[in-house]
Amino acid sequence: MTEPTILPPAASPTGSLPEAEARAHLLDPDGDLTGWLAVRGHPAWRSRAILRWALARRAASFEAMTDQPAALRRDLAAAFTIRSATVAVHDRAEDGTEKLLLALADGQRIECVLLRGGGDPAAGDDDGESRAERITACISSQVGCAMGCVFCASGIDGVVRNLTAGEILEQLVHLTALLPADERISHVVVMGMGEPLANLDRLLVALERTQDRDGFGISPRRITISTVGLPAALDRLSAARPGYHLAVSLHAADDALRTRLVPVNRSIGLDAVMAAADRYWEASGRRLTFEYVLLGGVNDAAEDARALVRLLGGRAALVNVIPYNAVAGMPWQEPSAASRERFLTVLREAGVNVQVRRRKGHRINAACGQLRRAAAQANQPSTVTNTSTAPRMPPSQTIQ
């Protein structure tokens, strides 16, 4: 079995990004704040206090950390950056969904989204609080994506690089800054740009920090990793940190169709994906979610639903059906209401636990990779085709 090459991040071992930023990222372990403080004779507790300022207390600069000595604050500002990215676009939808396009220090762009309320079951366990009070951050793990899913905007230009742990965590800093002081992020879904399991080591460091009580204090039960299902990396996750909620993107229940929609499936196959998902379930004891994007006329027939029932084979999993969010220039269609209902009925009558993902932030291109693409296209001659006259099923191909 071959799996996609795991890219190194663009950062050097010291955590600094080439040329663009000479300072270390405060949120990157490579920046080693504790070691930096120790060398200068400061007590270790200052490290927690400084991180607390940067994360929980939302300080945008070292200057704002007023209970720290002024000279230390000046030295910190010369050595570290709290926010290496800047907000290039901030968009807000009527339903309260907010999307940020962040410009990284090397000029690359990534997206992250803040979703309010909603009952998206893929966003971790329902553990007491009302779903209406949920504030979910959707974050990216890579610039671009190498998986090549033919309907997804993130992978159209392939993958550029992995994000550093600091860049992954920093998305939560920018999203938290959008909230009033008395509100905080309650859930995290790694469902933005990129394939999280292709950048697993840095993702794990960032998610570990996400739980820090001096920072965002988000329990692993409320953190969801969504993956196309890379078995070797999934096994590493099972062994290292099985506490996260796992969502596996299926989108088809037979290998021929899945390989057409999710080209990386060609070298993996559904049997290996399901077996690795089962091993994660055994390690975590937590119900799995399987995601299924419904593409009109492609994978939304009653027979597709029956094939999915057979594939699930009675597993106590949740199926998260996602009506396709149309991407300009792509020939795929949203499912009709009738085909969606038919698909759901087949699943429900077979006893499958199924939820339809509520659409959020539709107007602001909230699906993976759409805003980055729209922003890039605004500076280029339009390549958008008329989706209504495009063929319903393109030839089998990868977009990259």
Over the window 184 to 203, marking each residue x when it contacts ligand SAH by CB under 6 A and - when it does not, the resulting string is -------x---x--------
Nearer to ligand SAH, 31 or 148 (CB): 148
- In angstroms, rounded to a whole number, what is the distance separating the alpha carbons of residues 264 and 272? 12
When asked if residue 227 is in the footprint of ligand SAH (CB under 6 A), the reply is yes
When asked if residue 150 is in the footprint of ligand SAH (CB under 6 A), the reply is no
When asked if residue 149 is in the footprint of ligand SAH (CB under 6 A), the reply is yes
Owner of token pair 């077979």: 350
* Per-residue three-class SS string for 251-297: CCCCHHHHHHHCHHHHHCCHHHHHHHHHHHHHHHCCCCEEEEEECCC
Active site residue 368: yes
Minimum distance between the CB of residue 209 and ligand SAH, rounded to whole angstroms?
Answer: 21
Quickly list DSSP for 318-370: EEEEEE----TT----PPPHHHHHHHHHHHHHTT-EEEEPPP-SGGGT-STTH
Inter-residue contact 85 to 108 (CB < 8 Å): no
Among 100, 206, 293, 347, binds ligand SAH (CB under 6 A): 293
Owner of token pair 């990779």: 369
When asked if residue 324 is in the footprint of ligand SAH (CB under 6 A), the reply is yes
Minimum distance between the CB of residue 362 and ligand SAH, rounded to whole angstroms?
Answer: 10
When asked if residue 152 is in the footprint of ligand SAH (CB under 6 A), the reply is yes
Minimum distance between the CB of residue 191 and ligand SAH, rounded to whole angstroms?
Answer: 4
Facing residues of 182 across strands?
none
Q: Is 65 helix (H, G, I), strand (E, B) or coil?
A: coil
Minimum distance between the CB of residue 264 and ligand SAH, rounded to whole angstroms?
Answer: 9
Nearer to ligand SAH, 17 or 322 (CB): 322
Nearer to ligand SAH, 9 or 263 (CB): 263
Inter-residue contact 387 to 328 (CB < 8 Å): yes
When asked if residue 374 is in the footprint of ligand SAH (CB under 6 A), the reply is no
- In angstroms, rounded to a whole number, what is the distance separating the alpha carbons of residues 262 and 277? 17
Minimum distance between the CB of residue 374 and ligand SAH, rounded to whole angstroms?
Answer: 12
When asked if residue 322 is in the footprint of ligand SAH (CB under 6 A), the reply is yes
Among 47, 226, 289, 299, binds ligand SAH (CB under 6 A): 226
Q: Which of the following is catalytic: 98, 111, 167, 291?
A: 111
When asked if residue 120 is in the footprint of ligand SAH (CB under 6 A), the reply is no
The region of 2-10, 106-114, 160-168, 223-231 touching ligand SAH under the rule CB under 6 A is 223-231
Tokens at 362, concatenated: 């539709």
Inter-residue contact 255 to 292 (CB < 8 Å): no
Q: Which of the following is catalytic: 112, 145, 152, 368?
A: 368
When asked if residue 367 is in the footprint of ligand SAH (CB under 6 A), the reply is yes
Q: What angle do CA 76, 77, 83 make, to 5 degrees?
A: 110
Least Cα distance to 86 among 102, 109, 98, 108 occurs for: 102
Among 17, 207, 312, 368, binds ligand SAH (CB under 6 A): 368
Size of the site for ligand SAH (CB under 6 A): 18
Inter-residue contact 273 to 311 (CB < 8 Å): no
User: In this structure, is the dihedral angle defined by the CA atoms of residues 13, 19, 20 and 26, taken in order, positive or negative?
Assistant: positive
Minimum distance between the CB of residue 293 and ligand SAH, rounded to whole angstroms?
Answer: 4
- In angstroms, rounded to a whole number, what is the distance separating the alpha carbons of residues 270 and 142? 24
Residues 80-119 that bind ligand SAH (CB under 6 A): none
Q: Which residues contact 182 (CB under 8 A, 6 or more apart)?
A: none
Active site residue 149: no
Minimum distance between the CB of residue 190 and ligand SAH, rounded to whole angstroms?
Answer: 7
Catalytic residues: 111, 368
Report the interface residues with ligand SAH, using CB under 6 A. 147, 149, 151-152, 191, 195, 226-228, 249, 291, 293, 322, 324-325, 327, 367-368
